[in-house]
Amino acid sequence: MEQVDVRSWRDLQDVVFTDSWVEALGRFRSPFAFRGGGDARSDLRTGLRKLGGSPARQEGHLLRNFRKYAHRDAVPGDSVWNWLALAQHHGLPTRLLDWSFSPNVALHFATDNTDRYDVDGVLWCIDYVRIHEMLPEALRSVLSREGSQVFTAEMLHRAAPTLERFDALSREAFVLFLEPPSLDDRIVNQFALFSLISDPSLQLDQWLERNPGLCRRVVIPASLKWEIRDKLDQANVTERVLFPGLDGLSRWLKRYYTPTR
């Protein structure tokens, strides 16, 4: 996997918008999704992998009981993909990983915890367009018919209405990116996107090592975090916006008034 070390805000902006020009459209449309972490030593393990045990077995129990105990109107339509997105959104361990179309949202999550300002952070930049070119035909044809570059729950349901059907689409593990329904303002404001892998026991970074050239791992030096944080605050990329409500407002004010150390 390609690793990029940046030394300035300008370096960072150059990296995140690399390869975003689309000649056919005459527009800047990045094919990358972004994920930020406060510690560069972190990997791309899902909540399901972190939980331990057998991921495939645990997943079934978790999702079945989540659907059983959640309010019946919690999702728009009884699709496993809507339920999975809702579960991930509310902290249930799943095979999904959180990403964003916005590099600034991802940078927020790389710099929101001031207790980690003594260690380097990380920004993952993943080319979901090229990854989708590697999908099984049944999934590529859905994208082609829709003229889309990412999946919605409804699109994915056509090719695989269950997790078992999804996993069986190919003998080789594959990855796709799912745009969740707009369940609340948090999903909308975070410009959210989820990665989904066909083998819940496999880490995404392990899959990326087998398929090089699809991801950049940008290391953010600890010395740059305060500058990034202050510039994101000035651009209104804060907890107040990304987590609408009093909890987000309180988190923003607490961090904003934290003195430098």
State pLDDT tens for residues 66-109: 998 987 777 777 889 999 999 999 999 999 999 999 999 999 99
Q: Which residues pair with 99 in a beta bridge?
A: 193
Q: What pLDDT score does 23 carry?
A: 85
* Other Cβ atoms closer than 10 A to 257: 7
Q: What pLDDT score does 129 carry?
A: 96
Asked whether 47 and 93 are in contact (CB, 8 A), the reply is yes
Q: Sketch the domain layout of the chain as residue ranges.
A: 2-256
* b/e burial code for range 87-120 (CB count within 10 A of at least 16 → b): bbbeebbbbbbbbbbbbbbbbbbbbbebebbeeb
Q: What is the mean pLDDT of residues 229-249?
A: 96
pTM, full prediction = 0.93
Q: What pLDDT score does 219 carry?
A: 98
The strands making up 97-100's β-sheet, listed across from edge to edge, are: 2-5, 215-220, 121-127, 32-37, 97-100, 192-197, 175-178
- How many Å apart are CA 52 and CA 54, to the nearest integer? 7
Q: What angle do CA 161, 86, 200 make, to 5 degrees?
A: 60
- How many Å apart are CA 261 and CA 148, to the nearest integer? 46
Q: What pLDDT score does 76 carry?
A: 75
**Phi and psi torsions of 121, nearest 5°:** -105, 180
- How many Å apart are CA 96 and CA 84, to the nearest integer? 8
Q: Classify strands 2-5 and 215-220 as parallel, antiparallel or unpaired.
A: parallel
Q: What is the mean pLDDT of residues 224-233?
A: 97
- Scanning 41-79, the segments in alpha helix (DSSP H) are 47-51, 55-69
| Mean pLDDT rounded to a whole number for the chain | 94
Q: What is the mean pLDDT of residues 131-156?
A: 95
Asked whether 173 and 207 are in contact (CB, 8 A), the reply is yes
Task: Quickly state the pLDDT bin for 229 (edges 50, 70, 90).
Answer: very high
The per-residue pLDDT for range 108-121, each reduced to its tens digit, is 999 999 999 999 99
Q: What pLDDT score does 233 carry?
A: 97
- How many Å apart are CA 133 and CA 179, to the nearest integer? 17
The per-residue pLDDT for range 183-220, each reduced to its tens digit, is 889 999 999 999 999 999 999 999 999 999 999 999 99
| For the chain, percent of residues with pLDDT exceeding 90 | 85
Asked whether 194 and 153 are in contact (CB, 8 A), the reply is no
Q: What pLDDT score does 53 carry?
A: 87
Q: What is the mean pLDDT of residues 110-136?
A: 96
Helix (H) or strand (E) holding 164: helix 163-167
Q: What pLDDT score does 73 carry?
A: 73
Asked whether 214 and 114 are in contact (CB, 8 A), the reply is no
Q: What pLDDT score does 102 carry?
A: 97
The per-residue pLDDT for range 20-79, each reduced to its tens digit, is 888 888 999 899 999 999 999 999 999 999 998 889 889 999 999 999 898 777 777 788
Lowest-pLDDT choice from 71-75, 120-124, 227-231: 71-75
